[in-house]
Amino acid sequence: MSESQNRAIVETRNVTKVFGKGDIAVHALRGVSLTISQGEFTAMAGPSGSGKSTLLNMIGCLDRPTSGEVFLEGVLTNKLSGTKLSELRRDRIGFVFQSYNLVPVMTAIENAEYILMLQGKSAQERRSRVRDLFQQIGLGGMENRFPNQLSGGQQQRVAIARAVAAEPALVLADEPTANVDTDTGKALMDLMYQLNEERGVTFLVSTHDPTVMERAKRLIRLRDGQIVNE
């Protein structure tokens, strides 16, 4: 394995997250330490309430831990200001949600270009990069359709394109196959696996889906806010 592939993209050190106080305190994470290296395709599995989404939120800089440390590409994110966290999310992290989160009044290609637009990329660069990506992931010819003119699987492909177009260090996918049928879920997994293999995109996916678990190169199981095995 090359040195670049050994490079840690994410590191969490003894991360805890407690919601509420006193008798109603909920310990969502209990001392989670984890390293994700460049080029990995990792799945996190566990029952509802195991801490998967909470851990994704910590890694994605959407929330801060109660204690412990979270590093992204060697940067300690706990202490960053809100502005710095927003810039980090925009430039270094791609997000794929189970509900797609596409903007209904924007076309497929406009949705996929959205992060690049926020980064200030030129219209020509945005369009060129996303058109190439659409061809690769089977959305060629659908660039000008609106989300309501696309199937659930096609909408999720647009969401994946949006997540990887800006070439982030890491793509976080929260139950990406939850709202599609089995065959579509398998196709989406094939797509993410292809992007991992061909483009070197680093994926961390939370899931209940056995298909996702089977395809992952690394499987982490959580229970009651702790990693129980790999």
> Given the DSSP bridges, would you call strands 75-76 and 67-72 parallel, antiparallel or unpaired?
antiparallel
Radius of gyration of the chain (CA): 18
Q: How far is CA 59 from the centre of its chain?
A: 10
* pLDDT tens per residue across span 131-145: 988 988 888 999 999
pLDDT band at 202 (very low <50, low <70, confident <90, very high): very high
Q: How far is CA 131 from the centre of its chain?
A: 21
Mean per-residue pLDDT for 90-114? 92
Q: How far is CA 97 from the centre of its chain?
A: 8
CA dihedral 90, 56, 135, 190 (to 10 degrees): 170
Q: What is the pLDDT of residue 59?
A: 95
* pLDDT tens per residue across span 36-95: 999 999 999 998 889 999 999 999 999 999 999 999 999 999 889 999 999 999 999 999
Q: How far is CA 98 from the centre of its chain?
A: 11
Question: What fold characterizes domain 3-19+26-229?
Answer: Rossmann fold (3.40.50)
* pLDDT above 80: residue 173: yes
Six-digit token string for 66: 């109660």
Q: What is the pLDDT of residue 104?
A: 95
Q: In the 8-state DSSP scheme, what is residue 24?
A: G
| pTM (two decimals) | 0.89
* pLDDT tens per residue across span 1-39: 444 557 899 999 999 999 988 888 899 999 999 999 999
**Per residue, what are the HEC states of 26-59?**
EEEEEEEEEEEECCCEEEEECCCCCCHHHHHHHH
Mean per-residue pLDDT for 113-124? 92
